[in-house]
Structure 1
């Protein structure tokens, strides 16, 4: 349960879906993140750009696992973890998006934090957006009021207090326990991942990291934010291809998460309210996204 020895091999699991040049930057920067020998497992969800195949040729520490189609993020991670028996053969492994670029010693710093927090299941670094701003990757679990007001009011009032509280926007970056951590980059304790049976595969995309953090907490584990470790996340290399479809998927996943937390028969009116509010919000943001896409397309044709 302690920190792995320097000689121990570390596995990094990433899900590829035509990742383009992001994957090469991911793999090239990995050498700066840790002194440990690393094997990268690429769970490929149906790439057509040839990037995973090129990576295998260029980087001898990579393994390409073809999923046979687009299984979604969590399902692909689970399959790679199972195929390599990571929960029984390792103390820790990394899960990260292929559009991450690793900061110096970022993985070693996460592993050091794991030694300080023996009751923690997941560890997440400080995540920088491409413009250098800090992405709010360490958040509270979404309560009815805090999460609900963030979901409903957030799109029209960006600086509202409920969103700030949920995202912990005003908290100074510090090593601390949080409700959940962004799944774009996580160090996971193998025993904890096995205990909760990994990612919930009902989530095709979005909210699988919120759900995982919540289930870790319910099982008695902690989720630890480690801002001393830094990564850059390009974000949206795959979701940006069809933003309207993905916005709709986000709302479906959000309903799944909330409905699970209020499953009793007397919670039915609450679930109806969730479904109605999220459905209305989804229609609003999808229409807005499509209008923006049409404007951008028209502007490009001028």
Structure 2
């Protein structure tokens, strides 16, 4: 028997089976000589995920969102380490071994993420600052989107620009595409808060872990490739994201100023788009303004009623 701890890899699944099947194959081909328990939690997909040899496949009867789906899979986990993997990750054959070697060097329990990159090798800004109203407002302010490639834009957007390849450091929170933590501390804090349907659930989890003394640690010397983007249309994703921000604010922030702040920023966006529309007839400032107000209104209503 290997002396290395067993790893439970939980893959929350929804949609097409092919990416998840590819990830399972990569996990089954790992050079790691310990046990890897593979769990697929199907979030009531339109086409149920098939049974696969050597894999625990769980079929939920309702669609609960990312956090709920991970919780369902984690309930079946028996490994010492819990690894939460998006289905669109691409792993090298040594990935699990590299992660275990890296986390076992740390002095105390924590939640970890490797460096996550896109297919062109671009960093996906795994490490982030805890959300603030300013950060939400900055990301809502469309005129500055043209500066997304600059270091200062990323700083203001809440990205921890210190987290680059080769570094290991403690950060506020880590993007949820690829997370690893001791199963016992995930259970200790009750897993993900299932009130979050999509987005912000990993921030909330890491706030609660931090309160228990478990930090978030970026492992820059381990790398994984992530497709990212998701399959849902952008309007739906933006609504999910905004709603999650209202839920996070309601849970963690004393001052409920997100709605008026985003509304004020939408007015600035409207002015900018009105100026653009003088030269570009494809720009529709009133429609964009109305769409943004609806997202704000619906997000607030879903949380506060």
Structure-1-length-normalised TM-score: 0.78
Return the alpha-carbon distance in structure 1 between the equivalents of residues 232 and 164 of structure 2: 34
Return the alpha-carbon distance in structure 2 between the equivalents of residues 70 and 38 of structure 1: 27
Whether 1:24 and 2:21 are equivalent positions in the alignment is yes
Whether 1:177 and 2:170 are equivalent positions in the alignment is yes
1:198: Cα distance to partner? 0.7
- Determine which structure has more spread, i.e. the larger CA radius of gyration: 2
CA offsets, 1:191-214, max 9 Å, x none?
221222110111101111121122
Q: SS of the residue aligned with 1:167?
A: coil
Alignment of 1:138-149 (within 5 A): 138-149=127-138
Whether 1:255 and 2:253 are equivalent positions in the alignment is no
Whether 1:137 and 2:130 are equivalent positions in the alignment is no
Of the three residues 33, 36, 45, the one matched with 2:34 is 36
Return the alpha-carbon distance in structure 2 between the equivalents of residues 209 and 16 of structure 1: 17
Contact 1:18–1:46 (CA under 8 A) maintained in structure 2 = no
Unaligned 5+ residue runs, structure 2? 270-286, 293-305
Alignment partner, residue 273 of structure 1: 260
Of the three residues 117, 124, 135, the one matched with 1:128 is 117
Alignment partner, residue 167 of structure 1: 159
Return the alpha-carbon distance in structure 2 between the equivalents of residues 284 and 113 of structure 1: 46
1:151: Cα distance to partner? 4.2
Return the alpha-carbon distance in structure 1 between the equivalents of residues 17 and 179 of structure 2: 22
Alignment partner, residue 222 of structure 1: 215
Contact 2:147–2:153 (CA under 8 A) maintained in structure 1 = no
Of the three residues 179, 189, 209, the one matched with 1:186 is 179
1:152: Cα distance to partner? 3.3
1:272: Cα distance to partner? 4.5
Distance 1:35 1:138, change over 3 A: farther
User: How many residue pairs end up in the alignment?
Assistant: 268
Distance 1:209 1:285, change over 3 A: farther
Return the alpha-carbon distance in structure 1 between the equivalents of residues 251 and 261 of structure 2: 12
Deviates more, 1:225-234 or 1:153-162: 153-162
Whether 1:13 and 2:10 are equivalent positions in the alignment is yes
CA RMSD in angstroms comes to 2.8
Return the structure number with greater helix share: 1
Alignment of 1:42-57 (within 5 A): 42-49=40-47, 52-53=49-50, 56-57=51-52
Alignment partner, residue 295 of structure 2: none
1:144: Cα distance to partner? 3.8
1:286: Cα distance to partner? 9.6
Of the three residues 56, 65, 75, the one matched with 2:68 is 75
Return the alpha-carbon distance in structure 2 between the equivalents of residues 258 and 33 of structure 1: 43
Unaligned 5+ residue runs, structure 1? 289-302
Structure-2-length-normalised TM-score: 0.77
Whether 1:196 and 2:179 are equivalent positions in the alignment is no
Distance 1:287 1:144, change over 3 A: closer
Distance 1:278 1:211, change over 3 A: farther
